[in-house]
A and B are shown apart, each in its own frame.
Chain A
Amino acid sequence: MPDKKPVTPTGGEEPSNATRRDFIKQTSLLTAVALTPGTVVEAATNNMDEQIAAALEKLPLKMEVNGTPRSLSVEPRSTLLDILREQLDLTGTKKGCDHGQCGACTVHVNGRRVNSCLTLGVMVNGKKVTTIEGLANGEELHPMQEAFLKHDGFQCGYCTPGQIMSAVACIREGHANSEAEIREYMSGNICRCGAYPNIVNAIQEVKAGGQAV
């Protein structure tokens, strides 16, 4: 081990460049000082400046997720994907790349398929979000879920929720009229286990069955 001083979380000097966040912390404290000077000491001891800053950095988000109204307070930088997975514990929607390159995070927003990793939470304010958890009707699976099961449209299952959400949209969009068209319009969803032919078979069966999707 080289002879260097350990870095500790408590050490270090204040950085010279003040950030927008520092400004929020200072101004919120100044407001507190102006209103009730007696609370300043307490606020500082309880790290309340931090809490106020954190609160001010968040925005309200109201959306309907799988039919349930949700009211949240989120950072503007939080993606819909991370909000679903980390705040709402709806982990059926998967993170495969976080860059809109794999489709594992596909959900429906107002009925249209989107990559939830490229969608900031605040962008879906007032909208309806459907995830894989909201596709079945209670115990009764959606026809696409049944078809994926029957045709083994997956192996490990990780890309599957995104594939199924895309597959449903693919039919709704009118892009499932031939095997070639299905392949093209399902190419935004990567399956590393290689279930593609089975996925195509599942979509064709649902399309041919004519059920409402």
Chain B
Amino acid sequence: MQEGWYNMETLLNKPIPTSADGLSRVDGRAKVTGAAKYSAEYNQPNMAYAVLVGSTITKGTIATIDTKAALKAPGVLTLLTYLNAPKVPGHVATKPQKPGAKSGPLKIFYDNKILYNGHPIAMVVADTFERAQYAASLVKATYNKQAHDTKPPKDLSRGVGAWDGKDFTRGTVDAWKTAPVKLEQEYTHPSEIHNPMELHAIIARWDAPDKLTVWDKTQGVRATRGDIAKAFNLKAENVQVNSQFVGGAFGSALQVWPHEVAAILGAKVVKRPVKLVLSRPDMFTSVGYRPYTWQKIGIGATADGKLVGITHEAVGQTSSFEDFAEGPINTSKGLYVSPNVTTRYKLLSLDVNTPTWMRGPGEATGAFALESALDELSYALKMDPIDLRMKNYAKVDPDNGKEYSSKYLDEAYAMGAKQIGWDKRKADAGSVMENGWLAGYGMAGGMFGAYRDNTVAKAIMKADGTLTVQTAVSDIGPGTGTAMVLIAAKVMGIDPGKIKFDMGDSALPFAPMQGGSATTSAVGSAVNDACVVLKEKFQKLMGNGGTDKPDYVKILKDNNLTELETVTRSQPGPDNEKYSMQSWSVHFVKVLVHPATGVVKIDKVACVADSGKIISPKTARSQVVGGAIGGIGMALMEEGIIDHRYGRYVNNNFGDYHVPVNADIPQIDALFIDKPDPYINPIGAKGMGEIALIGMAAAVANAVYNATGKRVRDLPITPDKLI
């Protein structure tokens, strides 16, 4: 290992956070007692139940739908198909922008076209769930089948489809080919399905012909309000969206999906509140997924490890009717200093449902390829993988020349290396046996843009000394409420127990969607700013410039006030343009691989996040641990499998689509740089949700190579690929 940069005694001797450190979740009691209510759990008087029926073919048109038996089944209130469903105002027939352009997001019950297997063709609404489900089983359709295509072609090297994003070049095109040490490899990862534990669900209730209330699983109550209002031609303020608790989403609830439109339609027809809960198989075809992506990396370096060039090509799967593009090639532009970078990104249209962002989105896909290639290069150079990364360490953003607002990735490498025991790693792959298992170490990192959006927060101090903070954010699990309470407590100088944080309600002041790792940065800044303004109001009432610790109760009483409030808007400033803002992570993994069976056991994990100031230590640690586990799933088991003869998922359930279970996961060390970013926002916090996962799959793959000498470039790394 390189001398000189490892000497950071204080940092390296920081205690490792435990699961018991820090403030427990403010909504934790509701979650452990069953009091926390998710979208399907607001049962309404006289509520009816909806169940969707999906197509059993992959491409073609509906010839006939036999609904007689279903309509005769007990309790059925209505059965909607494209033939009788009321028109959705937002489903206007749009003329293609240009010849051959796609029709856009799926319009449910719009026409007789079948665009993928499982395309909703009917919805039964009945007075009980059981009756709706039974009646749905009686709906029979016949089809005019067309030949479908769900299988990506073997050779994607020339690219397919079209994408408006232009090829990117810095320096010379494909310069890696001129380097003394070089390699070119292809990497694939299959479609991965978010599969949050909570099934996507909505309860829709029309309060008046132009007024609607929904309890809906969404990562953004305001965005959902806007989309529903647009679809049904309603005033936004006449649509009330509630999403108090969200049982995970990982990106699957960033948009309004067809089933939500269907439930709202159903409620309109039966004039009763309607509940629609997707089934687990529905979750594979209704709410997006991380798309199958093929990648090719060409990378070259000088004999001493200086990068000469990187060429990163990617082809991502999308649907025949809607383009979904993400950023698998982004990381190659900026993670390392390379004078020459070429990227090419194309989309492959297949007869499948449309993908969407999934945690770490394209960057996680890209980091698997890039960080695997870096590892391969380190072996070709006979160089330590950390040394290779340090040799090409970027001190300013190679993509745009901007200074970083903060970057301590070098320290993160050192912390992680120490924690995993990197010095025990042998450079000879496949050379270490421990109790009959092959042992190996791997590392990989990642980066993700650190963002901050406009947010408005309201803060109210009441006569009893309690503070209520409100904004229309959702919390899909990271612990937003807890972080916000801690921010408010710090500014106001009061006990967190006296603070209540309201969210998940579209009537509250504007907050962006919980996505892109921007919530703590954006919403946290608004909470901070609102509390600063509120405190100043109190200090003003005190006169003489006030004190740093106002007695809020006394001031309210002295001024005959029952409460004092502020509504404050918080937004990014010029610094957010001036600097390159990124969060960084590095993951270290030790694996054991059974030589006879190819079973991979994750033995040790150490993750280090450089995400600025840590606001809420307990929930931050859990977020990093959870991201690492998501990455282990991506590396070792997750794969949506379609039988291409039929175009249909064959593993659309938790028995066959494997996600990590408790027995797959060891203790995971989550470490933090915990240094505030001075420019991104007033609280110094950068994003963490994405980087917790980005790079993890490559770290596992690299450890598997170190253990076995077998390089698996096609995820997931299942035992059959190792024996």
Contact = CB atoms under 8 A, between A and B. Distances in A.
B208 interface: no
Sort chain A's interface into a size bin.
35 or more
A145 B665 CA distance: 22
Query: Which of B653, B654, B667 has the most chain A CB atoms inside 10 A of its CB?
Result: B654
Nearest to A199: B662
A9 to B, nearest CB: 6
A68 to B, nearest CB: 15
Contacts of B479: 155
Contact of B32 (A1, A6, A86, A164): A164
Contact of A193 (B27, B38, B69, B477): B477
A194 B655 contact: no
A94 B198 contact: yes
A13 B621 CA distance: 62
Chain A facing B: main interface SS:
loop
B663 interface: yes
B539 to A, nearest CB: 36
Contact of A102 (B32, B69, B72, B654): B654
A172 B250 CA distance: 34
A172 B7 CA distance: 49
Contacts of B83: 4-7
B180 interface: no
A145 B33 contact: yes
Given A1-B111, A194-B628, A96 B197 contact: yes
Interface string A170-213: 00000000010011101111111111111111100000000000
A156 B663 contact: no
A183 B662 contact: yes
Contacts of A184: 662-663
A86 B198 contact: no
A197 B68 contact: no
B78 A158 contact: no
Interface residues of B, number: 82
A77 B130 contact: yes
Interface in B592-636: 618-619, 621-623, 625-630
B11 interface: no
A90 to B, nearest CB: 8
Contacts of A75: 128, 130
Given A152-B24, A152-B25, A156-B477, A9 B248 contact: no
Nearest to A86: B129
Contact of B34 (A21, A82, A101, A131): A131
B406 to A, nearest CB: 26
Contact of B79 (A7, A104, A153, A157): A7
Query: Which of A21, A98, A133 has the most chain B CB atoms inside 10 A of its CB?
Result: A98
A13 B66 CA distance: 12
Interface in B517-531: none
B92 interface: no
A2 interface: yes
A141 B33 contact: yes
Interface in A90-123: 90-99, 101-102, 104
B199 A96 contact: yes
Contacts of B261: none
B492 interface: no
B68 A13 contact: yes
A128 interface: no
B43 A86 contact: yes
Q: Which 5 A-B pairs have the closest CB atoms?
A: A92-B34, A158-B247, A194-B629, A157-B31, A156-B477
